[in-house]
Amino acid sequence: MELGKKYEQSGDMVWRKIGDETILVPVNQEFSNINSVFTLNETAAFIWSLIDGEKTLAEIRDALVSEYEVEPDKAEQDLVMCISQFEEMQGIREAS
């Protein structure tokens, strides 16, 4: 995955933080009928909050390194997995 890419939230999923739970609520699907409810752990929620169509993946990786004090390789690995899953659930798309 190219780290120069930028992603934006698609608007098809709404991020909601309720108590300790962070979930993505689909807007164009009936919630109780979807196969799975997507809950985000702390890292995924952090990444989601940085996806704004402006920041590159490299910038998000650097933010992860700074926030969680991890090695850049590990941060990149987690970021790539996360982006791929967000894309799969149609929560984000590549910014034009």
Partner 1 sequence: MDCAPIPSGSYSDFSKRLHRNIAEKHIPIGGGIDLTSRCNLKCVHCYIKDKPKNELSYDEVIRILDELAEAGCLWLLITGGEPLSRKDFKDIYIYAKKKGFIITLFTNATLITEELADTFAELPPMAVEVSLYGATPETYEKVTRIKGSHERCLQGIEMLLQRGTSVRLKSMILTLNYHELEDMMKYATDRGVEFRYDANIHGRLDHTGNTSGYRLSPEQIVALDMVDKRRIKALREFVEYSLKQNMDHEYLFHCGAGLDSFHIGSDGKLYLCIMVRERSYDLRQGSFAAGWNEFIPGVRNEKADKDYTCSKCGLFFLCGQCPGWGEVEQGDRMKPSEFLCKLAHLRAAAFEKEELWTGC
Kindly state the smallest distance separating residue 96's Cβ from partner 1, in Å: 21
Q: Measure the N-to-C terminal CA separation of the chain; round to a whole number of Å.
A: 16
Q: Does 1 bind partner 1 (CB under 8 A)?
A: no
Ramachandran bin of 6, using left for φ above 0, alpha for ψ from -120 to 50, beta for the remaining angles: beta
Q: Does 38 bind partner 1 (CB under 8 A)?
A: yes
The number of residues in the chain equals 96
Size of site (CB under 8 A) for partner 1: 44
Residue type, 24: L
Q: Does 21 bind partner 1 (CB under 8 A)?
A: yes
Q: Does 27 bind partner 1 (CB under 8 A)?
A: yes
